[in-house]
């Protein structure tokens, strides 16, 4: 009788209760899903990361800003480079020679 009190109740008389077996299966499925998800994320990073290292266009060395102009932003197009300066103007420069093509004043919105 004393040995019956120390045993955990279950449907089969001995072994693991069905609720505990179900919980073990759920934990195993969750662990498997997490492992597959982690491998997928790592795989995607490895596959896509080399594309981030593709060569970027370099600024031509011949470009020199006019005296006193300080660049705030730079963008490039086919054959031209645009530089936004602190003086609220856009300088359009030739990408190969660095010569000033156009100067556009930025006017504030009214």
pTM: 0.47
Separation in Å, CA 45 to CA 37, 52, 106 = 12, 10, 41
- In the chain, what are the domain boundaries? 2-52, 57-110
Of residues 88, 85, 90, the one with CA closest to residue 103: 90
Q: What is the mean pLDDT of the chain?
A: 83
66-101 pLDDT per residue, tens: 888 888 888 888 889 999 999 889 999 988 888 889
């Amino acid at each position: 009788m004393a040995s019956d009190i120390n045993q955990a109740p279950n449907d089969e008389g001995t072994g693991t209760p069905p609720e505990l077996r179900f919980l073990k299966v759920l934990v195993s499925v969750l662990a498997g899903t997490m492992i597959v998800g982690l491998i997928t994320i790592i795989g995607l990073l490895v596959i896509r990361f080399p594309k981030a290292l593709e060569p970027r266009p370099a600024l031509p060395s011949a470009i020199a800003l006019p005296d006193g102009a300080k660049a705030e932003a730079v963008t490039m197009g086919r054959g031209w480079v645009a530089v936004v300066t602190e003086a609220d103007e856009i300088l359009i420069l030739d990408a190969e020679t660095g010569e000033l093509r156009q100067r556009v004043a930025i006017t504030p919105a009214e």
